[in-house]
């Protein structure tokens, strides 16, 4: 009898060991499957994620309007969604035309910024003149011969304008779906969370509620502080652009403020943009450096001193993890992924912190 029990125990231990050996590859395949699903179904997944993050930001306002002023959730949610839609439309109208105009001038600004009126520019002009002479001589040689002229084949492809129209149409459709879902989440999201918690085992209910509450608090705090500081940066940059004589200073202030929602990468791109615009518009070198240099100093001051003073601490995610997440989500979902990288990492950090099994991972990515 004892031998049979010992054999059964040994068999159970062997099966448990085999399962543990297989658990890691299975988890890896599970993660790869999720990533592939996120990539393949991005047209469906992106509006849902955008709606969830937006509802996390706006839900405290809807709740406060109901508790203090007895405003129905349906009314306050509709007002907030329309305000978000109006803000997005206003930004698009203000920024689109000047940015498209300056995109045509960008090559001239880059060449002037990098080359200028130096010896390098003269050498490049000589090289281009020599290339034109060689091209003319080759045309004369080919024209004097009796060779049959080659047939020109024209391939029709979609222009960049048509591709831009298609992408804009898809983006507008996704935005409309995200805003519609945001409205329904603001109206009935709390009820859905309560119903979900009731289906969770009793020992896990408190953890689920903590994850929901902390995610909402962290995302709202991050976006609120960033919105306030970016407003200050945008206004100051616009005033600086107006003072030194840049055209469309309000547009550059708006771009400078919005770009800071993308940590590190947005600041770098804005500095390059301001440098190009200054190189095209201004004549004196030290004035060309005022806008990009002033924006760099301003963002450094705000990022290292003012923002930590407002909410008492910096973001608890390691900067290396933030930088990698920007590239990862950007590769997965494009520009929208870059914009959502930090809010997504904030929610992921909250989930890792609340689940005991994943706390070692949280300690690795935290500051």
Q: Which residue has the higher pLDDT, 285 or 178?
A: 178
| pLDDT tens digit sequence for 291-308 | 899 898 888 888 777 666
Residue 296 lies in a domain: no
- 279-311 per-residue burial string, b: 16 or more CB within 10 A, e: under 16: bbbbeeeeebbbbbbbbbebbeebbeeebeeee
Query: Is residue 118 over pLDDT 50?
Result: no
Give tens-digit pLDDT for 189-223.
Answer: 888 878 887 888 888 788 888 887 777 777 777 77
Per the structure, the count of domains in the chain is 1
Supply φ then ψ for residue 98, to 5 degrees.
Answer: -60, -35
The answer to whether residue 357 is domain-embedded is: no
Q: In the predicted model, is pLDDT for residue 324 greater than 80?
A: yes
Lowest mean pLDDT among 45-49, 84-88, 321-325: 321-325
Please name every residue paired with 270 in a beta bridge, in sequence order, or none if there are none: none
pLDDT value at position 346?
A: 78
Q: Mean pLDDT highest for which of 182-186, 314-318, 349-353?
A: 182-186
Contact status, residue 28 vs residue 21, Cβ threshold 8 Å: no
Q: Is residue 194 part of a domain?
A: yes
C-alpha to C-alpha distance for 249 and 239, rounded to whole angstroms: 7
Question: What is the span of the domain harbouring residue 193?
Answer: 43-117+162-199
Q: Is residue 99 part of a domain?
A: yes
**Sign (positive/negative) of CA torsion 225, 227, 228, 229?**
positive
- 140 falls in which pLDDT band (50, 70, 90)? low
DSSP line for 40-96: HTHHHHHHHHHHHHHHHHHHHHHHHHHHHH---HHHHHHHHHHHHHHHHHHHHHHHH
Whole-number pLDDT of residue 94: 76
How many angstroms separate the CA atoms of 306 and 170, rounded? 38
Per-residue pLDDT tens over the stretch 85-103: 998 888 777 777 776 666 6
């Amino acid at each position: 009898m004892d031998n049979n029990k010992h054999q059964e125990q040994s068999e159970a231990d062997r099966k448990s060991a085999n399962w543990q050996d297989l658990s890691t590859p299975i988890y890896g395949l599970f993660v790869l499957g999720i990533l592939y699903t996120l990539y393949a179904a991005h047209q469906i997944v992106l509006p849902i994620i955008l709606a969830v993050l937006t509802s996390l930001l706006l839900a405290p306002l809807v709740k406060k309007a109901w508790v203090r002023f007895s405003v129905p959730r349906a009314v306050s949610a509709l007002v907030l969604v329309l305000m978000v839609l109006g803000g997005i439309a206003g930004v698009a109208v203000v920024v689109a035309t000047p940015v498209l105009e300056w995109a045509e001038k960008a090559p001239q600004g880059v060449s002037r910024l990098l080359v200028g009126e130096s010896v390098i520019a003269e050498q490049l002009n000589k090289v281009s003149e020599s290339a034109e002479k060689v091209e003319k001589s080759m045309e004369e040689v080919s024209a004097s011969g009796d060779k049959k002229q080659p047939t020109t084949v024209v391939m029709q492809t979609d222009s960049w304008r048509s591709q831009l129209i298609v992408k804009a149409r898809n983006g507008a459709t996704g935005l409309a779906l995200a805003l519609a879902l945001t409205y329904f989440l603001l109206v009935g999201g709390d009820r859905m969370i309560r119903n979900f918690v009731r289906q969770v085992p009793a020992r896990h209910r408190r953890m689920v509620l903590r994850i929901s509450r902390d995610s909402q608090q962290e995302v709202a705090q991050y976006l609120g502080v960033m919105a306030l500081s970016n407003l200050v940066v945008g206004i100051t940059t616009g005033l600086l652009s107006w003072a030194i004589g840049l055209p469309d200073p309000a547009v550059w202030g708006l771009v400078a403020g919005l770009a800071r929602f993308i940590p590190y990468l947005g600041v770098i791109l804005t500095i390059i943009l301001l440098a190009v615009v200054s190189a095209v518009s201004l004549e004196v070198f030290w004035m060309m450096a005022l806008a990009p240099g002033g924006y760099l100093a301003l963002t450094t001051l705000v990022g290292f001193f003012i923002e930590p003073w407002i909410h008492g601490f910096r973001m608890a995610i390691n900067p290396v993890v933030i930088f990698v997440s920007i590239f990862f989500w950007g590769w997965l979902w494009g520009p929208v992924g870059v914009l959502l990288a930090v809010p997504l990492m904030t929610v992921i950090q909250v989930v890792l912190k609340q689940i005991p099994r994943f706390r070692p991972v949280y300690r690795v990515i935290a500051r």
